Structure 1
């Protein structure tokens, strides 16, 4: 019987040949250029930075208070300093009046009124202190002098009606009243020293501020004619 010759290797798969065929069938993805990748990354990073900066600016604008107009603030500061420069104690004058001023354009009359209010406040505190001290004759007399000074300063404020300018006659009246208030405080200290009161040093210490502020008010009203270049509002 004739034998059938089967070709060697028939029905067997060559592994290497199979892998080559598969490799040919799988499509190769195009490689992205490195430069394109870097450009895209840079753009994304820049966009993120700009976004964060915008968020920070928006937050700052919504949380910070709006500053007052520099021109108005400078105008008020300049006017108060000009008026206070005629006093013996310009720094306390400027500091105390600035803390009370609410007008963007204060005039000499409003500044004088604020100065008088500061003087009244200090004298009122002194009056309360005197009432708590030993009630000897010298202290009682001093207390009466302080009360009279307060009355003089209150009369001065009452004469300065809002919306009305200070006439020459009114300026003289205010100057007389404020001058009397200064004299009252000096008389108080003189009486304590003459009567040898043990409280003289303590009263002097407590009266220092009220004397300074009342002196400033007197200087302002005494030089009122020098502020004619500053308009009344």
Structure 2
């Protein structure tokens, strides 16, 4: 059964509204910041969910951007560990796994550099540091996408599992990039 486009929009609107209402009811100090920051993210529900439940301090836009990068980094590391445990059924699949593991490793490095840069923002070098952070997170997104390229035209359980996990990482990484771009616009260092 196919849902009409207007039905999908209505369902999405209801889900986002419900999520926003639940988060707004939360009296934690960061609830308003998370809501206002995540509402226009690429994946607002994921942004709200991951950052509302984040245990670290998120009282400023800078804290929130760092938290988003930490979430992305944590998920990328989990996928990296998962990929290291997989065994393939064919040489082609094994090659795709090795390449994917390398790409995810590069993403972990890029996200680690981004987090370090965000932790040391200074007024005199803010623009340069933000450019670095944006470049590294964009590269991490590209690496995550490139990982899946090796599995094209394969219909295996490994491909399905890797794709699901990589999409999850890519979504939180995309939200992290959005919050970094937002931080760049507000210049909170």
TM-score grouping bracket, smaller chain normalisation: 0.7 to 0.9
Corresponding residue number in structure 1 for 2:69: 116
> CA distance change for structure 1 residues 215 and 163 in 2, over 3 Å: closer, same or farther?
closer
Task: Give the superposition deviation at 1:161.
Answer: 2.5
1:169 counterpart residue number: 128
Alignment of 1:16-165 (within 5 A): 73=27, 76-103=30-57, 106-135=59-88, 136-161=94-119, 164=122
- 2:71 is paired with a residue whose SS is helix
Q: Return 5+ residue gaps in structure 1 as ranges.
A: 1-72
- SS of residue matched to 1:167: helix
Separation (CA, whole Å) in 1 of partners of 2:134 and 2:186: 15
Runs of 4+ in 1 over 3 A off after TM superposition: 162-166, 225-228
Q: TM-score, normalised by structure 1?
A: 0.61
Distance 1:102 1:180, change over 3 A: closer
- Measure, in 2, the Cα distance between the counterparts of 1:189 and 1:99: 29
Q: Tell me, yes or no, if the aligned pair for 1:88 and 1:215 is still in contact at 8 Å.
A: yes
Q: What's the TM-score, normalizing by structure 2? A: 0.74
Work out which structure has the larger RCO, using CA pairs closer than 8 Å and 6 or more positions apart in sequence. 2
Give 1 or 2: higher helix fraction. Answer: 2
Please list every run of 5 or more consecutive structure 2 residues that lacks an aligned counterpart in the other structure.
1-26, 89-93
Number of residue equivalences: 157
Deviation sequence 1:89-111 (CA, Å, 0-9, x none): 112112211222544x7111110
Partner of 1:205 in structure 2? 164
Kindly tell me: are residues 102 and 186 of structure 1, through their superposed partners in 2, closer, same or farther at Cα, counting changes over 3 Å?
closer
Asked whether the 8 Å contact 1:86–1:220 carries over to 2, the reply is no
Shift of residue 178 of structure 1? 0.1
CA RMSD of aligned residues (A): 2.4
